[in-house]
């Protein structure tokens, strides 16, 4: 029965394409048919199965319809098929729209077909292809006079930029979409769609004040539509703002209101998304039983609609709830199924957040090895995204510099042309009026002097801009510490030599404990304040000759070029206590902060050959994760290597904890503890050296 239904749908689409190519146009009852197709378009957002039935009823009337109406029918058929999970039929219909528009040389029809194809590509997790199609569709749509089409295409392009992490470009696009959609040129539905997308972007960018202002207008405009479906969409957007800005009670209330509206509509796809969000709220409140209930209901809903994105998120929530209940194997299975979808979509920001929550859940459940593995996966994505953002910022800065440089060159050439024109006029005047020669020469000298001073001033400004560019490429803008690129350039030029005396270098890598909890509880502005406080504490704890680096996110790295070998553990203790002894007063809250640290002397020399600095940092990073996995607020240090002839550096790097337990690595542990109860530094009672003999484990 199911296969027969699919075959019949495909056959109908082919027959319709033939009918569109051969049928004559007719203006009789055209407005009525267009209005009914428009009603189906709105209905398909919420109950696509009913919308499909309505479209199939309208199909016989297309024989006498205009080209535009027939193309719009095919376009809506593609959208409905996509929302029902029938992506192959949806793609076929979208391609037919593009081909039909091309045969008519109608850019409106072609652009609509390209947008329909964009949405199918998204549904198939072909994200890069979808982004390219979205940008091409917007470019074509803006050449037409169809305002709703322009708004839709601009929204889609803005959302594509946001998925790529290019938030400035996304913001410009969505603000432009709102401007286009406003009366008198725009229409109410287009304005609501644009405001909805802009509110979500402000929320994603943590601009909660702007998001709240846009949301207020969105709710006002949605009320005017008297559409339960549109109001449910607006309520879901309000939920996103409430949960991100730390208003859980408002978020729960809004979700329950939205769920009532969606169930009355029979909007199963929206019901699934809302159930996922309800399970997420229960997870945050650690009510795992209700989280499981909502996640399972969401899976049942997504199975009906074939909504793979909702299914993936529901599995992540279900896995996290199972892990919280102690059902570790079931939880891991569900979590990995959800992660697989994110990986296929190449959705790096969401994948990073999911892996971080995965590691925290496993850590709470006592699966330290699984937690470390999840943290390493998250760290790799974090480094990739950090590097991508840094390169984007550098490109934008370089582009701005080049633009200013070209503008200065244009202005200078313009002045030079003016000078040449003045000289020509002077020659003519010299030939006609000899007695004005002295005055003209004096005037020319004055103009040349002024231009010379202008050129000197321009060159001075250029030098200042070059210095600013160099500083911005070296320092982290939030903390004013060195950035990762500067440290990498420094280490590449550093000559590594093992010293015979008792003086060594040292590397310290630290990560803020429970930093996500700080952001979720107090907001991202509080998180930024915490990072600034830690940067200041590191400046106090270390010397001016030591290099302190914002390594990325909530991580810091310090390189100490020369310290006594026996003082490495003491510096780790000083860092731990210096930070934990301080608290940050933010608004009406007092925030206490701890860090976990990985460290080692530098260079590290296993088997007589110094390690490259990259491998030394990687080893310190692994020690940091051991500190995280074994309780946080402590430091794990790699002192050296034993029995190195029985192992290899590759084996140690693959699993540092196993290498330590096998007796190949000498670790020391510095405990953080309560700063008011710490013993004097000379006693070293909170520093533990841990060795395991080879062959005992």
Within 67-106, residue ranges assigned H as helices are 67-83, 87-104
Amino acid 344: pLDDT: 77
Contact 558, 537 (CB under 8 A): no
pTM here is 0.49
Span 256-309, pLDDT tens digits: 888 888 888 888 888 888 998 999 888 888 899 998 999 999 999 888 888 888
Nearest to 220 by CA among 204, 208, 206, 238: 238
Contact 101, 71 (CB under 8 A): yes
Amino acid 145: pLDDT: 92
Amino acid 38: pLDDT: 77
Strand 589-592, strand 555-564: pairing:
unpaired
- State how far the Cα of 121 lies from the Cα of 27, in Å rounded to an integer: 35
- State how far the Cα of 652 lies from the Cα of 620, in Å rounded to an integer: 12
Amino acid 83: pLDDT: 83
Amino acid 696: pLDDT: 37
* Residues of the chain below pLDDT 50: 1-31, 675-686, 693-697
As a 3-state breakdown, the chain gives helix, strand, coil percent values, each rounded to 5, of 70, 10, 20
**Edge-to-edge strand list for the sheet holding 547-552:** 482-483, 547-552, 555-564, 503-512, 595-602, 634-641, 665-671, 687-690
- State how far the Cα of 333 lies from the Cα of 539, in Å rounded to an integer: 45
Amino acid 497: pLDDT: 66
311, with CB counted inside 10 A (0-12, 13-18, 19+), is buried
Amino acid 462: pLDDT: 62
Six-digit token pair at 350?
């969401």
């Amino acid at each position: 029965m199911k296969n027969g239904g699919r075959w019949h749908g495909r056959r109908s689409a082919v027959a319709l394409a033939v009918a569109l190519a051969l049928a004559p146009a007719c203006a009789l009852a055209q407005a009525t048919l267009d209005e009914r197709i428009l009603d189906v378009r709105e209905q398909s957002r919420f109950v696509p199965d009913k919308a499909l039935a309505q479209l199939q009823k309208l199909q016989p009337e297309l024989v006498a319809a205009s080209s535009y109406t027939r193309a719009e029918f095919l376009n809506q058929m593609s959208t409905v098929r996509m929302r029902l999970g029938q992506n192959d039929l949806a793609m076929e219909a979208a391609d037919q729209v593009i081909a039909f528009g091309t045969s008519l040389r109608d850019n409106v029809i072609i652009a609509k077909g390209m947008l329909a194809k964009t949405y199918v590509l998204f549904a198939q997790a072909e994200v890069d292809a979808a982004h390219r199609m979205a940008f091409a569709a917007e470019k074509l749509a803006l050449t037409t006079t169809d305002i709703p089409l322009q708004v839709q295409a601009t929204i889609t392009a803005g959302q594509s930029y946001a998925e790529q992490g290019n938030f400035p470009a996304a913001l410009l696009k969505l603000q432009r979409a709102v401007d286009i959609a406003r009366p008198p040129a725009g229409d109410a539905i287009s304005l609501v769609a644009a405001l909805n997308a802009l509110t979500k972007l402000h929320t994603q960018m943590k601009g909660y004040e702007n998001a709240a202002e846009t949301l207020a207008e969105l709710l006002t405009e949605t009320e005017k539509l008297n559409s339960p479906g549109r109001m449910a969409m607006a309520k879901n957007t309000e939920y996103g703002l409430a949960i991100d800005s730390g208003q859980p009670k408002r978020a729960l209330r809004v979700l329950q209101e939205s769920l009532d509206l969606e169930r009355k509509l029979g909007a199963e796809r929206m019901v699934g998304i809302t159930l996922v969000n309800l399970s997420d709220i229960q997870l945050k409140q650690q009510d795992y039983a209700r989280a499981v209930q909502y996640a399972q209901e969401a899976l049942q809903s997504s199975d009906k609609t074939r909504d793979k994105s909702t299914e993936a998120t529901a599995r992540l929530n279900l896995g996290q709830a199972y892990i919280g209940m102690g059902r570790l194997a079931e939880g891991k299975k569900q979590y990995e199924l959800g992660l697989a979808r994110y990986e296929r979509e190449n959705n790096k920001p969401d994948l990073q957040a999911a892996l971080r929550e995965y590691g925290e859940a496993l850590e709470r459940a006592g699966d330290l090895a699984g937690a470390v593995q999840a943290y390493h996966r998250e760290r790799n994505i974090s480094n990739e995204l950090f590097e991508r953002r840094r390169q984007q910022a550098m490109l934008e800065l370089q582009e701005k510099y080049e633009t200013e440089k070209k503008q200065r060159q244009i202005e200078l050439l313009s002045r030079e042309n003016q000078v040449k024109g003045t000289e020509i006029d002077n020659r003519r005047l010299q030939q006609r009026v000899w007695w004005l020669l002295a005055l003209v020469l004096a005037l020319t000298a004055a103009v040349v002097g002024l231009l010379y001073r202008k050129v000197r001033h321009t060159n001075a400004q250029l030098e200042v801009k070059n210095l600013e560019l160099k500083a911005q490429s070296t320092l982290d803008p939030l903390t004013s510490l060195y950035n990762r690129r500067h440290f990498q350039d420094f280490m590449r030029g550093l000559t590594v030599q093992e010293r015979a005396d008792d003086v060594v270098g040292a590397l310290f890598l630290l990560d803020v404990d429970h930093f996500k909890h700080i952001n979720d509880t107090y907001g991202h502005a509080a998180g930024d304040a915490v990072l600034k406080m830690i940067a200041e504490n590191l400046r106090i704890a270390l010397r001016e000759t030591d290099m302190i680096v914002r390594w990325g996110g909530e991580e810091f790295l310090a390189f100490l070029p020369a310290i006594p070998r026996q003082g490495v553990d003491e510096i780790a203790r000083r860092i731990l206590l210096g930070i934990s002894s301080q608290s940050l007063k933010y608004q009406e809250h007092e925030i206490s902060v701890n860090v976990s640290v990985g460290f080692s002397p530098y260079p590290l020399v296993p088997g007589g050959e110094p390690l490259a600095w990259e491998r030394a940092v990687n080893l310190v990073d692994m020690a940091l994760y051991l500190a995280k996995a074994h309780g946080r607020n402590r430091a794990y240090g790699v002192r050296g290597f034993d029995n190195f002839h029985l192992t290899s550096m590759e084996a140690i790097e693959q699993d540092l904890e196993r290498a330590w337990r096998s007796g190949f690595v000498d670790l020391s542990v510095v405990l953080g503890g309560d700063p008011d109860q710490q013993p004097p530094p000379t006693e070293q009672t909170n520093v533990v050296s841990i060795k395991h003999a080879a062959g005992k484990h």
